[in-house]
């Protein structure tokens, strides 16, 4: 069995192994990491060989740590990364380039249509009717998108939202509220088979699925990095955040929103949680809390999205695609029966 794991911000870890009588055998570790002394590589191999195949990642990492010499130095990887690669090999996880990706960047639709499309396209990938897909959102009306489990009244000042023309909608993934003024943010969704993150912890999968974004931002001159659990940030401040939803059919929805040119003062009028976060930090201007992409690149929003497309295609390969007529009809139906209903919006009052 063969498994690979690219450590976010680090190096590639590659493992090869066999399974004999329920235990790991013939284990070999490789990669482009740095390790001293040389004998530590053999020590890791010895520590893993003989472990039960049902060992979880924490148990494998603990065995590796116990087997390392006291003077071992690991750069670009860790025992946990090796354990993740092992679990991925045992569960027959896939890699990005094992799939034929499609990139969608269609015309603007309503906020509720975006949320319905997220559910429909994830279901289609899980059913095998759609190839794994990266979709960029476009919209021409302001909205607040709250997380699946957030309280509507605790998160949003509905009177202020109405005054400023913000529609309030609820998505199927967890996480916090997204303040989405038209053309002020960059939002994308990934629809992927669960095998892509097989063997990873939930937390590790966030950084893994957004590593290409960090690469794209760095190519634009932004000192970007991932901050657990789900923040994309930089030396000059937070840029955005991600959220996920795993469906019962095995498919995965991962989407992220990054600020391009946010009106921070308007945000704290509409979002109640914004006010609390600001007061906690003793900050009077929301613009100081989130440093948008525009100030760090000086580029139009469209150019930033284009660089993201180029980076993704260069790393993993992708073809241009579109939402199909059948998918649009299914999404429109979901807007009517679910996303635009008071019952869904107020499921957590």
Task: Give the Cα separation of 257 and 290 in Å (integer).
Answer: 12
Structure tokens at 311: 């980076």
Q: Report yes or no: 201 and 175 within 8 Å, Cβ to Cβ.
A: no
Query: Which of 93, 21, 94 shows the shortest CA–CA distance to 53?
Result: 21
Task: Give the Cα separation of 327 and 197 in Å (integer).
Answer: 25
Residue 185 gets the label, from left (phi > 0), alpha (psi -120 to 50) or beta, of: beta
Q: Report yes or no: 288 and 281 within 8 Å, Cβ to Cβ.
A: no
Token pair 């019952």 is found at: 343
Q: State the Cα angle at 147 between 143 and 152, rounded to 5°.
A: 75
Domains of the chain by start residue, with CATH: 2-90 (3.30.390.50), 96-345 (3.30.930.10)
Task: Give the Cα separation of 330 and 307 in Å (integer).
Answer: 31
Query: Which of 98, 309, 295, 296 shows the shortest CA–CA distance to 188?
Result: 309
Longest dimension (CA), the chain: 67
* pLDDT on residue 281: 43
Q: Report yes or no: 180 and 144 within 8 Å, Cβ to Cβ.
A: yes
Question: For every residue of the chain, which 3-state class applies, written as one string?
Answer: CEEEEECCCCCEEEEEEEEECCEEEEEEEEECCEEECCHHHHHHHHHHCCCECCCCHHHHHHHHHHHCCCCCEEECCCHHHHHHHHHHHHCCCCCHHHCCEEEECCCCCCHHHHHHHHHHHHHHHHHCCCCCEEEECCCCCCEEEECCCCCHHHHECHHHHHHCCCEEEECCCCCCCEEECCCCEEEEEEEEEHHHHCCCCHHHHHHHHCHHHHHHHHHCCCCEEEECCCEEEECCEEEEEEEEEECCCCEEEEEEEEECCCCHHHHHHHEHHHHHHHHHHCCCCHHHCECCHHHHHCCCHHHHHHHHHHHHHHHHCEEEECCCHHHHHHHHHHHHHHHCCHHHHCCCC
* pLDDT on residue 265: 84
How many C-beta atoms surround the C-beta of residue 164 within 10 A? 16
Task: Give the Cα separation of 169 and 105 in Å (integer).
Answer: 21
Q: What is the pLDDT along the chain (349 residues), one digit of tens a residue?
A: 999 999 998 999 999 999 999 999 999 999 999 999 999 999 999 999 999 999 999 999 999 999 999 999 999 999 999 999 999 999 999 999 999 999 999 999 999 999 999 999 999 999 999 999 999 999 999 999 999 999 999 999 999 999 999 999 999 999 999 999 988 999 999 999 999 999 998 889 999 999 999 999 999 999 999 999 899 999 888 899 999 999 988 899 999 999 998 888 888 899 997 555 555 444 445 445 455 799 999 999 999 999 999 999 999 999 999 999 999 999 999 999 999 999 999 999 9
* pLDDT on residue 283: 43
Query: Which of 149, 137, 244 shows the shortest CA–CA distance to 180?
Result: 137
């Amino acid at each position: 069995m063969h498994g690979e794991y690219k450590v976010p911000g680090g190096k590639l870890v590659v493992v090869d192994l066999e399974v004999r009588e329920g235990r790991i055998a013939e284990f070999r570790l490789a990669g482009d990491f740095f390790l001293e002394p040389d004998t530590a590589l053999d020590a890791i191999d010895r520590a893993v060989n003989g472990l039960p195949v049902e060992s979880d990642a924490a148990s494998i990492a603990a065995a590796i740590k116990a087997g390392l010499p006291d003077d071992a130095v690991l750069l670009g990887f860790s025992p946990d990364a090796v354990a993740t690669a092992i679990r991925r090999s045992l569960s027959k996880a896939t890699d990005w380039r094992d799939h034929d990706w499609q990139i969608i960047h269609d015309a603007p639709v309503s906020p509720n249509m975006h949320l319905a499309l997220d559910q429909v396209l994830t279901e289609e990938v899980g059913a095998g009717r759609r190839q794994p897909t990266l979709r960029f959102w476009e919209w021409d009306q302001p909205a607040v998108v709250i997380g699946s489990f957030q309280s509507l009244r605790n998160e949003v000042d509905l009177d202020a939202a109405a005054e400023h023309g913000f529609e309030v909608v609820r998505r199927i993934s967890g996480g916090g509220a997204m303040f989405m003024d038209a053309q002020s943010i960059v939002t994308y969704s990934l629809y992927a088979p669960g095998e892509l993150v097989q063997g990873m912890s939930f937390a590790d999968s966030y950084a893994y699925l957004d590593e290409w974004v960090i690469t794209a931002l760095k190519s634009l001159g932004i000192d970007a990095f991932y901050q657990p659990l789900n923040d994309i940030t930089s030396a000059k401040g937070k840029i955005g955040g991600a959220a996920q939803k795993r469906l019962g059919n095995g498919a995965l929805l991962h989407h992220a929103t990054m600020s391009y040119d946010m009106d921070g003062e308007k945000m704290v009028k509409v979002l109640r949680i914004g006010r609390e976060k600001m007061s906690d930090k003793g900050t009077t201007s929301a613009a100081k809390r989130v440093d948008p992409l525009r100030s760090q690149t000086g580029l139009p929003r469209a150019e930033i999205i284009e660089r993201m497309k180029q980076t993704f295609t260069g790393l993993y390969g992708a073809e241009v695609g579109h939402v199909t007529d059948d998918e649009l009809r299914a999404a429109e139906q979901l807007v009517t029966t679910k996303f635009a209903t008071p019952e869904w919006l107020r499921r957590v009052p």
